[in-house]
Every structure is written in C-alpha cells, then in structure tokens.
Amino acid sequence: MTDSQTNPGSDPPAAAGADLHLELRGPGLRAGLTSALRDAVRTGRLAPGTRLPPSRSLATDLGVSRNTVTDAYAELVAEGWLTARQGSGTRVAERARDGGRSPAARARRAPERPAYVMRPGSPDLANFPRTQWLTAARRALTAAPNDAFGYGDPLGQMPLRTALADYLARARGVYAEPERIAVCSGFHHGLALMARVLRERQVRTVAVESYGLDLYRDLLTEAGLRTLPVHVDEHGARTDGLERLADVGAVLMTPAHQYPTGVALRPDRRTAAVAWARRTGGLILEDDYDGEFRYDRQPVGAVQGLDPERVVYFGSASKSLAPGVRLGWMVLPEELVPEIVAAKGYGDYMSSALEQLTLADFLTSGAYDRHVRAMRLHYRRRREQLVTALAHRAPHVRVKGMAAGLQAVLELPDGTEQSVTQEAARRGLAVSGLAEFRYETPESGRRLPRQDALVVNYAAPSDSAWKRALDILCEVMP
Amino acid sequence: MTDSQTNPGSDPPAAAGADLHLELRGPGLRAGLTSALRDAVRTGRLAPGTRLPPSRSLATDLGVSRNTVTDAYAELVAEGWLTARQGSGTRVAERARDGGRSPAARARRAPERPAYVMRPGSPDLANFPRTQWLTAARRALTAAPNDAFGYGDPLGQMPLRTALADYLARARGVYAEPERIAVCSGFHHGLALMARVLRERQVRTVAVESYGLDLYRDLLTEAGLRTLPVHVDEHGARTDGLERLADVGAVLMTPAHQYPTGVALRPDRRTAAVAWARRTGGLILEDDYDGEFRYDRQPVGAVQGLDPERVVYFGSASKSLAPGVRLGWMVLPEELVPEIVAAKGYGDYMSSALEQLTLADFLTSGAYDRHVRAMRLHYRRRREQLVTALAHRAPHVRVKGMAAGLQAVLELPDGTEQSVTQEAARRGLAVSGLAEFRYETPESGRRLPRQDALVVNYAAPSDSAWKRALDILCEVMP
C-alpha cells in the first residue's frame, strides 16, 4: 500500500478558479472535459463544496467554447458529481466519498504455477481443434436464422439437441430424443439444476460414490442435500448396498469409468442400480464424463439406456473438446423436463446460442467424431508410454484401472502417497494423491481400505511437456 | 397418440432363433449388430427372458464372423441388456421395462407466434454483426494461449475484464478495475449470483422499482428474498422514500433509463440513493441494461461512479449485441468480490472462454463501438418514425420517456389499454400493456396512478417487418 492518501480532515481547497488544471484527452473536447472534471472530483483534487470557476472563465482558460463548459457542467450535475444552484454557482457535490482514495492495486494472489500439471480434470488443451471449430462457427453463424440470436428455448438450441440425440444414441447407447435433452454449461451447471429439482421434490439425501470430487459433494450440500457414500471397489460402486442407505432419493455415479479409480461398473451392479431406482422411485444421476475414451475395446453403453425414465444422463464437451467450451447436456426422464425448465428460470440464460450452434455443426459435420478419434489415439499412446516407462523404471508400481479416459491410478507402497506428491511438487510436477478423492462418513459404516496411490492425468501435458513430466513422475516413485 | 403398443400382458415371444431379423446399419458390422440387438430389446421385439440364437447360427444367418456375434453379445451383457450363464445360453435380461413402450412423439406446444413482435426485451436481431463477430472470433481463437481453453478464473477471462474496464470507464463513467469485474451470462445470471450473496449476508428484503420485470422479482423471491416496491414517477424511483421501507438491504434500479417507463433518475435522487446506501450499509444494484442508447444527448454516467463501494453495476451484451451472446458483467464493490467468487463455486462454470475472448477482441478492436454507433442511429431513426407516424395518425397519443433505449411508452385514454393490446394481437402484432410491469403490494402504501399505456419496442422488428408493424400499431390506436 504505497498510495499517498489525502488526510480526510484537511481543509477544503479554496475555490478552484484559474488554478484548475485539466488535461483534456480523448476525441471530443466536451467528453474530454467532462471526464477530466469527473476524475478531479473522484480523486479528491476538487473537494466537496469547492466552487468551480464560472463557465466563461474556464472556457477562456482552456480555449474552448463556453457551451462546451456549460454542457460538461450540466452533465456532471446530472450524474451527481456537481450541484448547481441559482446564485451560488456550480460546486462539487457534498458526498462522503474520501478525497484521495485510490484503489490499492491489489496484487491478486499470483497462484504458484507448477511447471508440469498431471492432476486430473483437463484434456490436452494444446489439441483444441481451433481451425475446425472456427470453420464450424462460420457455417453455423452464417446459416442461423435471426431468431437464433434472441432469448432461446430453455432446453437449448434445437439444432444442438437434435445433433446430440443422434450422437448420444450412436456413440453411447443413450435413449435420447431432442425433447428430453437439456443443454447446460457443463456437468457443474447440470448438477446444480438437478440439485434444485431434487430439493423441490423433497429429496433429502443423495448417495455418491466413496471416491469422487469434493466439488460436487459440496455443490449438493450447498443446495440443501445430504450426501452419503456408496462404497466403491474394483467392480465399481456397490449399488447392491443402496437398499441399506436410508432416505436416499438419488445416486450420483460414474458407471462407464469410475472417477477417479478407473473401474467400470459390473453388469449386475448396473442392473442393481436400475432395480433400486425402480423399487424406490429414486433417480440415477449418470455422470458420463469421459465415456468416449476407451482404448481396449468399444466403450460400454450408458446405464441410461436401461431405463431412460429413472436415469438422468450427463455429458459434456469438457473432456472431449475443452472445459472452456462450457457446454454440457442432460438427457432427462420425460417427467423431469418441466422441472428442469423451471429450475432454469423458463429461459436459456446461460449458454451462448452461437456456441451451441457451432457445436451442433461440429457434431453433424463429423468433426466431433474425427476429433474424438484423433484424441483417443493420442491418449492411448500416452497411456502406453506411461505404462512402459513405469514398467522399466518403477516396476513395483501397479497401474490400475481400465485402458480408458484421461487418468490412471498408480498404486504406491503403504504410507508413501503424501511424500510422493510432495516430492513431485518440489520438482515442479503437480499430481494428486488418491486420498483427495476419498469420501466416508461415520454413518457410512464401512471403512475404506487405505490404498496409497496417485491419480495421474497423462492426457493434460502438452507434447513438449510430456517427456519431462513423465521423467519426474518416474523419478519420484518410491 | 397413434403408436401401437404391445400388450404388456401378452405371452413372451418364443426363443428368437432364425426368426430374429436384424437390420445392420452403420460403418462397423459389430457396432451395427450391437445397435440392432439393443434396439430389438429396447423396443420389446425381444422380450425379457428370450433366449438368443447361439452365436454360431446367428453368424451364419447374418453372414458375419462368429467373433462379431460373440463380441456383440458380450457388449450387451456388459451393458445389462443381456445375461449370459453357463449352460443356459444368452438371454434378454429380466428388466421391468415395458416391452413396446415407444415415446409419445410429444407435440411440443408450438407457441403461436405473432407475425410482428414489438414487446420489449430484444434488440434488432437481424443486425447482429455476424461477419465482424466471426472476424473477432478468428483473431481471439488464434491468439489465445492453450490455457485459455481450460477451467477459467471464476471472475472470467482477464482479457475481457481488461477490455470491459476500459470500455465502461470511457462510455459509462463506471469506476472499473479488472479485479472487481465479474463476467456472468447476462443480467439474469448476475442477479441470481447477487441474490445468493445477499442471502448469505442475511439480507431479507430487496427494494425494487414499482415498474419492472416480474422475472427479476420472481428470481429474488425464489432466492428467499422479499421484494418491496419503490414508487416510480416522472423523475424515476423515489429513492428519498427508501428510508421508510423497513429492513431493506439492497435496491434494484434502472437509473439511466427506467424500465420500462423510460425516464432518467433525477440527480438529487441519484445522490439520495447513494446517501441511503451509505447510511444503512445497503447496496444499490444498478441495472444499466441499455445505457449505450441515448439519442438526444450523451448518456448520463452510471450511478456506480458516485460510490463504487456501495453500488453493484450490471451490464450486458444482450441489448448492444444480442441476447444469444449470453455475456454480461458486474462491477463489484471490492469487499463483494470474494463473495461473488464463492457464489460462482470458485470456478467459471458458465461462460464460454471462446465467447469471452471474442467479445474482448470485439471491444478492443473498436468493433463494439462501431456497432453501437450504427445501432444508435438505426434505433434513433426508428423512434423518430414512430413519433412522426403517431403524430399524424394518432395525434392524441403521447409518446413518453426520453429519446433513448429500445422502447417507448405510449399513453392511452383511460380504460383502453387491454382492448388495444388485444386488438393488436388479433391483427398479428404483439405489444405489451404497461400494467404488465406494475408492481405494488399492500405494504407499499401508495397506490400507483393507473395510467393506461403501451410499452412498444421499436427496435426489434426487422427492416422488412417495420413498416407493417408500425401501420398496425397506428391502426389499433383508440
């Protein structure tokens, strides 16, 4: 804080008169004068109560027409900076605002950025298909009817919902019709809308997997919902245990690729989840965050296909394209459509129409499929390099989870997780320990086995950073 | 509802065997077979319990390799559609899902669209600067660092906040620094965030103008805040009456151009509002929805400039560009910044990074100023045509409000408002009566004078629709 501050108790300056130095900038004389006067009042150079020079004399001093000055004064009177009274001339308004108060140029906490980031969450941003995206944007914006630029359908732009219905049925086995698709700004937004709907339905508790992101648990909690963990093992969430959790109205799951442990939900547990939802009237919230990325076989279809009236399917462009696109989608049970429309405020107040239409073109033109295919190869190669490097340089470390997605779980010897992440950080590599994602409560009964492990995002580093990031990772292995 | 439905109680079909007709589509045989089988189960052609033909015989029937069939079966077992047990072959899973249930092709209420729309809210969408926007998008996307495509700063992309700080100080007299600007998806989103912050601060009541949009009053109510009207007269909101309203923590206002009555807040009322805020610790929520559009003189600067620590300034691209852009901004008192970041969930989960960077380029390149100038001329001409037409054809109708914005208020003889809007609707022209916007409560004490009037958006009709829309308007005048 090096700003010099005028003493608020100091004497008010004398009437400004010819002492008033103003620097006129900008294209218009009048606008420049107005702005210079406003600044002078704002910064306290002209204190409250100060009488301004008569317009005629200021005009002469500045070499401008008298009208310019009277206009500028009138403007600032209208804005409340000055007051004008018959007989007492124009004065700086009495305002309590501190004279010389000038904003502390707050040094925003410059976050210490590690040189290499392998924390889960982001795809390879260097491969965002900028050129193809712009091509799609050009086609979409050129073809859009004028109405598309207005306030849109609360469910989102119809061309996007139609394109998604086709894509999701084809690629993810989702039972999708445009009428039950709601566009949102990503999973975070979708879950926030859903939480609101659940609260309206008097749901009190949502079951969540015992490994997952605290961000989403917090979101549910803030929406007034309690969360309870469902135990996750090597076959995914123990959906057969849902029965035993009291008062649960919905369960949030990542069936295709458990986040972050990386396992797929076993078929009998898929059906158990659906059976539970049917018996209890509960809902399955299926977070299909990276369903497109499976490297060993065709991806397993969405659970939603088993019962579209009991499963809410969530997907987004955050992993397949980039988080910055901020577009996601929900495929809803028919009866939930009006409730989501209400939660959205009966309008589409969030998602850019232009961006939605661009994604619609990106999907229908085949650019989306091409990009996903290219990234699948790219990430698959990354994963193989990770596995190979570890096999050579840290053979006792087991890579767990399926050949899928953007991250892998590396099992560590007991008691080493924290020291490994710390040593990595010291060397400029950010990785996450599995403990970050663990969730258990006293009520949840079962204690989770305390497997030490890293969750490593092999997708995020750019090609130029990848080799060095992988080196550091191997070096810090115990 | 013309869908034929199979009787849920009918006998289960016999084992499919050679009767199983499958149409294989799509690029891959395996994917095509999987999809055809999935559809057959889903639509009930293959009922629960049905045994599927042995893979060898189905392969022969279809002329595909046996592996293709076993892979497809395995896939559908993994997805839960089929079950496979040693000795009993592959069967359709027992699921409670109705056999022939086929979605009612819901005829979504096709809203009856009037031929001409002059209801307030939208700018002229036909003039959205598509080409210039695409040029900005190309520059922005080409120049953006890779990181820009990731999860962004909760306050929004820094290049946009920097461009806005400059623009708002210059064009609207706003005291803006990038550090106190929060990007949002428009006023609706900004107000929702603000409502959340107010609730956290234990604010119970927000004063709103006695004319305004019910949409925003409802948003506040749903956020758990009570609303109380502040009387609006020909000099704007009676901010001198804020004292008398009990328990008010914030006041939502449209000082530059009262919505929809079209008057500017008188200088003494601007200062009275600020004085109230200072004395009570209250906040002024300044909705500057169309501050750029004033036709008779320079726009009056924002109230925010009078006290940036007590006023939250809201602006958006919805009127200056188009609602479909879904970008808005709040300029915050310094102490509110962390609270808004918290309300946003500590991330930018709503606004597209690409769109934000495009708007930043649009602003800094001068395209925004050029567009606003062009639209100002366009709307000004429209307003003059409206005034001239009414002067000739309905001389007893008074056009109220300043030469500003996108809409005008036309005063009608007592008791004619409803019949005029109805007659306009009958002729295909949608206009709003002033009554739609009136807000009073038993507590508010003062009854509003019941002036009959229309609120007419002269900006929205496209050039091709304008002449006819204006004709109808003149014809339905009493």
pLDDT digits (tens, 9 = 90+) for A82-135: 888 766 788 888 763 433 333 333 333 344 578 899 999 999 999 999 999 999
Beta carbons of A151 and B121 less than 8 Å apart: yes
| Beta strand segments in A73-225, E | 82-85, 89-92, 116-117, 181-184, 205-209
The H or E element containing residue A139 is: helix A130-143
Q: What is the pLDDT of residue B4?
A: 37
Query: CA A186, CA B80: separation in Å to the nearest integer?
Result: 27
Taking alpha carbons only, the member of A231, A227, A265, A206 closest to residue A448 is A231
- pTM (2 d.p.): 0.81
Strand partners, B285: B252, B312
Choose among A397, A402, A401: nearest CA to A476: A397
Q: Judge contact between A22 and A65, C-beta under 8 A.
A: no
The alpha carbons of chain B give a radius of gyration, in whole angstroms, of 30
Whether A360 and chain B come into contact, CB under 8 Å, resolves to: no
**Length in residues, chain A:** 478
Please give the ipTM for the structure prediction. Answer: 0.81
Give the Cα separation of B329 and B312 in Å (integer).
10
| B295 touches A: beta carbon within 8 Å | no
Q: CB-based contact (8 Å) between A281 and chain B?
A: no
Judging contacts by C-beta atoms under 8 Å, the chain A residues touching residue B350 are: 185, 189, 326, 350
Q: Which of A172-176, A220-224, A376-380, B448-452 has the lowest mean pLDDT?
A: B448-452
Per-residue model confidence (pLDDT) at position B12: 36
Mean of per-residue pLDDT scores for chain B: 88
Backbone CA torsion sign across A161, B461, B323, B107: negative
For B449, other C-beta atoms within 10 Å of its C-beta total 6
Distance between CA A73 and CA A82 in Å, rounded? 7
Contact B250, B397 (CB under 8 A): no
pLDDT in tens, A34-82: 878 887 887 777 878 888 888 888 887 777 788 888 888 888 887 778 8
Distance (Å, rounded) from C-alpha A293 to C-alpha A254? 14
Test B345 with A188 for CB contact under 8 angstroms. yes
pLDDT attached to residue B3: 37
Residue spans of chain B under pLDDT 50: 1-18, 26, 96-111
DSSP structure class, residue A241: G
* Per-domain residue ranges of chain A: 4-107, 117-122+370-475, 128-365
Distance CA B129, CA B121 (A): 19
Domain boundaries A4-107, CATH class: mainly alpha
Q: What is the pLDDT of residue A108?
A: 37
**CATH for A128-365, among 3.40.50.300, 3.30.365.10, 1.20.1260.10, 3.40.640.10?**
3.40.640.10
A185 and B108 in contact by Cβ < 8 A? no
Mean pLDDT of A160-187: 96
Rounded CA gap, B293 and B271, in Å?
23
Instruction: Give the per-residue pLDDT at B55.
Output: 84
pLDDT at A195 over 50: yes
How many angstroms separate the CA of residue A119 from the nearest CA in chain B?
Answer: 13
The tens digit of pLDDT for each residue in B8-67 reads 333 333 334 335 667 665 456 777 788 788 878 877 778 788 888 888 888 877 777 888
CA distance A147 to chain B (A): 7
Residues 251-280 of A with CB under 8 A from B: 264, 267, 270-271, 274, 278
- Whether B85 has its CB under 8 Å from any CB of chain A: the answer is no
Three-state SS string over chain B comes to CCCCCCCCCCCCCCCCHHHCCCCCCCCCHHHHHHHHHHHHHHCCCCCCCCECCCHHHHHHHHCCCHHHHHHHHHHHHHHCCEEEECCCEEEECCCCCCCCCCCCCCCCCCCCCCCEECCCCCCCHHHCCHHHHHHHHHHHHHHCCHHHHCCCCCCCCHHHHHHHHHHHHHHHCCCCCHHHEEEECCHHHHHHHHHHHHHHCCCCEEEEECECCHHHHHHHHHCCCEEEEECEEECEECHHHHHHCCCEEEEEECCCCCCCCCCCCCHHHHHHHHHHHHHHCCEEEEECCCCCCECCCCCCCCHHHHCCCCEEEEEECCCCCCHHHCCEEEECCHHHHHHHHHHCCCCCCCCCHHHHHHHHHHHHCCHHHHHHHHHHHHHHHHHHHHHHHHHHHCCCCEEECCCECCEEEEECCCCCHHHHHHHHHHCCEECEEHHHHECCCHHHCCCCCCCCEEEEECCCCCHHHHHHHHHHHHHCCC
Euclidean distance between CA atoms B126 and B118, whole angstroms: 14
Contact between B92 and B47 (Cβ < 8 Å): yes
Instruction: Check if B72 contacts A (Cβ < 8 Å).
Output: no
Q: At a CB cut-off of 8 Å and minimum separation 6, what does A224 contact?
A: A195, A199
**How many angstroms separate the CA of residue A394 from the nearest CA in chain B?**
31
Which H/E stretch holds residue A166? helix A158-172
The DSSP secondary-structure symbol of A154 reads: T
Distance CA B426, CA A295 (A): 61
In this predicted structure, what is the pLDDT of residue A171? 93
Chain B nearest-CA distance from A435, in A, is: 21
Work out the percent of chain A whose per-residue pLDDT is above 70.
Answer: 88
Residue B108 vs residue A281, higher pLDDT: A281
Q: Which of A35, A350, A371, A402 to mutate to test the interface with B (most CBs of B within 10 A)?
A: A350
Query: Rounded to the nearest 5°, which phi and psi values hold at A214?
Result: -65, -30
> Residue A438's pLDDT band (boundaries 50, 70, 90)?
very high
Q: Give A373→chain B minimum CA distance, Å.
A: 14
When CB atoms are compared, the residue of B26, B188, B300 closest to A345 is B188
At A238, is the pLDDT very low, low, confident or very high (cuts 50, 70, 90)? Answer: very high
Question: Residue A362: left (phi > 0), alpha (psi -120 to 50), or beta?
Answer: alpha
Pairing of strands A205-209, B82-85: unpaired
Mean pLDDT over each residue of chain A, to the nearest integer: 88
**C-alpha distances in Å from residue B462, one per residue of A145, A163, A353, B116, B381:** 12, 29, 19, 9, 13
Residue A69's alpha-carbon distances to A32, A330, B170, in angstroms, are 11, 59, 19
Query: CB within 8 A of A216, min separation 6: which ones?
Result: A187, A188, A191, A208, A252
SS3 A116: strand
Query: A327 to chain B: nearest residue by CA?
Result: B352
Between A and B, how many residue pairs show a Cβ–Cβ distance under 8 A? Answer: 219
Strands B283-287 and B311-316: parallel
Rounded to whole angstroms, the Cα distance separating B400 from B411 reads: 7
Q: Where are the alpha helices (DSSP H) in A293-445?
A: 337-343, 353-364, 367-393, 417-426
> Tokens 């084992």 label which residue?
B15
State the pLDDT at residue A109: 38
CA distance linking residue B455 with residue B459, whole number of Å: 12
**Architecture of the domain defined by A117-122+370-475:** Alpha-Beta Complex (3.90)
**Is B80 in contact with A270 (Cβ distance < 8 A)?**
yes
Q: Distance between CA B164 and CA B331 in Å, rounded? A: 10
Chain A nearest-CA distance from B271, in A, is 6
A353 touches B: beta carbon within 8 Å: yes
Q: Which of B71, B139, B350 to mutate to test the interface with A (most CBs of A within 10 A)?
A: B350
Helices (DSSP H) in A47-129: which residue ranges? Answer: 55-62, 66-79
- Asked if the Cβ–Cβ distance from A355 to B351 is below 8 Å, we say no
Give the position of tokens 């003889």: B413
**B309's tokens:** 């620590």
Q: Are strands B181-184 and B432-433 parallel, antiparallel or unpaired?
A: unpaired
B200 interfacial to chain A (CB closer than 8 Å): no
Q: What is d(CA A215, CA A209) in angstroms, rounded to the nearest whole number?
A: 13
Confidence band for A355, pLDDT divided at 50, 70 and 90: very high
Mutate to test the interface with A, among B73, B79, B218, B319 (most CBs of A within 10 A): B79
